[in-house]
Structure 1
Amino acid sequence: MPILYLLQPKAVLSKKQEAFKVAIGQEDGSWSKRVVPAQTIEQIVLMGHPTVTGEALTYALDLGISVHYLSIFGKYLGSALPGYSRNGRLRLAQYALYCNESDRLNCIKPIVRTKIRNQAAIISRREGNAKSLKTYAKQVKTMDSLDRLRGIEGIAARDYFASLGELFDPVWNFNGRNRRPPADPVNALLSFGYSLLQVQVTAAVHLAGLDPYVGFLHEPNRGQPALVLDLMEEFRPLVADRLALSLIHLKTLKPENFSTSLGSCRLSDSARKDFLKAFEDKMNEEFSHPVFQYRCTYRRAIELQARLFARHLLEDIPYQPLYLR
């Protein structure tokens, strides 16, 4: 597995020679220990409050391994990333595009349009609802300002999640998207999936040499990684939404796998492990890339899209978001 997940608060990640040592506290007071060869890991994800020694953290960064932090509820908190790319010309092109509102609008329209088309593909069994989303996708081309573009994206999202609710059994009590914190099991799954997706896109943006904090649809406010959120949009329906639907329809997860505390719904520890395994399986799922015409995984596709976006900035080649029927 290219990603090492540490989910237990009572866990310690340290360095042992050319490997990482994972120690997990047991209920009887003992410690379960294992060694993970460093060359088998591409990323580390820490959820909750596990302990990472300074030696392990610096060793990971020295090897080019990103370390990502999620809250105990699965919310993305931030990342420790290896040294930034020295591609100054790419960064300057990114900043120049941000400062040109017309070019910025034209750059982001295909991403919004593709996100809506991917959403329509998910609810295609509800023909009337899918048709309205396809109409919104067409209207994206006519938007003449960023505010209007965000407006049509918001309307499409509202209708999409309302339609998505029709695909779930009423026992799941899903009445639309809510977050901060998620109040029901479906929203808990979606939020967790989006956080894990953000980890993947953050790593891809970093590898491509882009500035994660300067985006074009999302504003660089409150320190949010605006470009990461931009490039996540086309993948939200393809990865997180499809995964949540699949796990529920296959009854891999059930309502009793969730608990609610202080208005926040979360997965049980055992169900969280099932979700992470399913997410990894999804990341490794292969499909035919519509641009390159060869088979690749979703993990590879996320990296490819970040590199295509960088190429768009440097060479003015139109960026083609990932749309899968």
Structure 2
Amino acid sequence: MIVHVNTQGARILREGRHLLVKKEADIYHTLFPHRLEQLLIYGNVSLTPSALKLLFRENIDTVFLRQDGRFVGRLAVDEGKNVLLRKAQFRLSDDDPFCLRASRAMVSGKLANMVVLLQRIKRSRDSREAGKAAVQVKEILDQLPKADNLESLRGLEGQAAVCYFAGFRAGLDRDFGFRKRVRRPPTDPVNSVLSLLYTLLLNRIIAAVRVAGLDPYPGVFHALDYGRFSLPLDLIEEFRTPVADTLTLSLFNLGVLKEKDFFTLQVEETLDLPQEEEDAIDRACADPLGRMGMPEESEDVSDLEGDQFVEREEEPQTPTGKPPVRLYPEAFRRLLTAFEKKLQTEFYHPVACRRMTYAETTIFQARQYRRLVEGEIAEYTPFLLR
């Protein structure tokens, strides 16, 4: 179970073998550590020493974020005890042919998913812009086998990202000021939501990597760097479009998020969700593209501070001089609710040969990478949007 605590002024305290989330005399949640996979704490929420010790003892991945969703830090929990597996991970991170082969599979999955979404936008909206972008990304996808080193592969992936977002904006009912991907800081509502969703998604991938018993630091595509979780940054690539990008289109196109939900000044206190907003979120998750008439057959880490989560989906950006755009707390809660519902969406996974949720798929893909490291499989198969 993944739990988000964003009630400002709340305290998390221990009572016996469980945790309580309280504000004054009101109890908001009762948390049972044996059911808890990850705890995400937003803004002004405090932990008592006894609660902190229980989280450490139960090895719960506990993430701290600002009230607007920007990453702050996480509790240092024990890594997997399989030393031989971790040793193999680090050894293979220095194996250039292995890194190139695995990275090519991951990037091909990312670009293939981009093409699928762009083609849906083209068909549903008769968009020449999306069609052109789909052709461009497909051409880059076809060039991946020719990339004979990681730098070339990274260059192709960066080119594809620029083409993709030029077509992605055609999927919006309104552009909301979105022209291209701008990350640090996001300067329009669409970029702000993309950044938040990529942040939330990355934290789920980190949890999946730990569930699989892998060390999050040594990856294959993202270079090793001090404090960087390279493996989750690798594995998130194929999930950006199916989870975060499609949900972004839904949130705006179905009116779950509107321009009035964003600000550039001080945020105010969180409000409760009206029932009509809950219903809108349900519709957004049922229709991943939001009124685009292209239902799925079965049914990206951006604004993080510090070097640990540096991503590279485009060339480094120079400061825009524009103030960052953020969500009001009540709208942020709607986004969190929609994100969690999106992760519970079921579809048929062709590699697993069964139905599973997006949340389960993150763990399946992490475990598949572990099998690759341990030599049980010869190739990594990315998750593909159908």
Band of TM-score, shorter chain:
over 0.9
Distance between the aligned counterparts of 2:107 and 2:154, measured in 1? 9
Q: Corresponding residue for 2:308?
A: none
5 Å-filtered alignment, 1:252-271, equals 252-261=256-265, 263-271=323-331
The answer on whether the counterparts of 2:133 and 2:166 sit within 8 Å (CA) in structure 1 is no
Which one has the bigger strand percentage?
A: 1
Change (3 A) 1:319 1:121: same
Q: Corresponding residue for 2:316?
A: none
The unaligned stretches of length 5 or more in structure 2 are 123-129, 266-321
Distance between the aligned counterparts of 1:52 and 1:105, measured in 2? 43
3-state DSSP of counterpart to 1:123: helix
Q: Corresponding residue for 2:113?
A: 118
Change (3 A) 1:71 1:224: farther
Deviates more, 1:315-324 or 1:292-301: 315-324
The answer on whether the counterparts of 1:74 and 1:191 sit within 8 Å (CA) in structure 2 is no
Q: Corresponding residue for 1:36?
A: 30
Distance between the aligned counterparts of 1:40 and 1:104, measured in 2? 35
The answer on whether the counterparts of 1:76 and 1:196 sit within 8 Å (CA) in structure 2 is no
5 Å-filtered alignment, 1:42-57, equals 42-57=37-52
Q: Corresponding residue for 1:27?
A: none
5 Å-filtered alignment, 1:15-34, equals 15-24=14-23, 31-34=25-28
The answer on whether the counterparts of 1:287 and 1:296 sit within 8 Å (CA) in structure 2 is yes
Deviations, residues 152-174 of structure 1 (Å, cap 9, x unaligned): 00000011111111222345110
5 Å-filtered alignment, 1:211-290, equals 211-261=215-265, 263-290=323-350
Query: How far has the Cα of 1:31 moved from its partner?
Result: 5.0
3-state DSSP of counterpart to 1:175: coil
3-state DSSP of counterpart to 2:228: coil
The unaligned stretches of length 5 or more in structure 1 are 25-29
Q: Corresponding residue for 1:320?
A: 381
Change (3 A) 1:138 1:78: farther
Alignment counterpart, residue 201 of structure 1, candidates 205, 226, 229: 205
Q: Which amino acid aligns with 2:62?
A: V
Matched, 1:69 2:68: no
3-state DSSP of counterpart to 2:111: helix
The percentage of counterpart residues that share the same residue type is 35
The answer on whether the counterparts of 2:118 and 2:167 sit within 8 Å (CA) in structure 1 is yes
Q: Corresponding residue for 2:85?
A: 90
Question: Following TM superposition, where does structure 1 have runs of at least 4 consecutive aligned residues deviating by more than 6 angstroms?
Answer: none
Distance between the aligned counterparts of 1:86 and 1:196, measured in 2? 26
The answer on whether the counterparts of 1:65 and 1:81 sit within 8 Å (CA) in structure 2 is no
The answer on whether the counterparts of 2:37 and 2:207 sit within 8 Å (CA) in structure 1 is no
Query: How far has the Cα of 1:9 moved from its partner?
Result: 3.9
Deviations, residues 72-97 of structure 1 (Å, cap 9, x unaligned): 33223332254221111211111111
Q: Which amino acid aligns with 1:57?
A: L
The answer on whether the counterparts of 1:129 and 1:163 sit within 8 Å (CA) in structure 2 is yes
TM-score (norm 2): 0.79
Distance between the aligned counterparts of 1:104 and 1:115, measured in 2? 16
Distance between the aligned counterparts of 1:36 and 1:5, measured in 2? 12
RMSD value, Cα: 1.7
Matched, 1:309 2:369: yes
Distance between the aligned counterparts of 2:176 and 2:333, measured in 1? 20
The answer on whether the counterparts of 1:22 and 1:33 sit within 8 Å (CA) in structure 2 is yes
Q: Corresponding residue for 2:179?
A: 175
Deviations, residues 203-236 of structure 1 (Å, cap 9, x unaligned): 1111212121111111122422111100110111
The answer on whether the counterparts of 2:67 and 2:329 sit within 8 Å (CA) in structure 1 is no
Alignment counterpart, residue 154 of structure 1, candidates 153, 158, 164: 158
The answer on whether the counterparts of 1:114 and 1:137 sit within 8 Å (CA) in structure 2 is no
The answer on whether the counterparts of 2:80 and 2:215 sit within 8 Å (CA) in structure 1 is no
Distance between the aligned counterparts of 2:143 and 2:158, measured in 1? 13
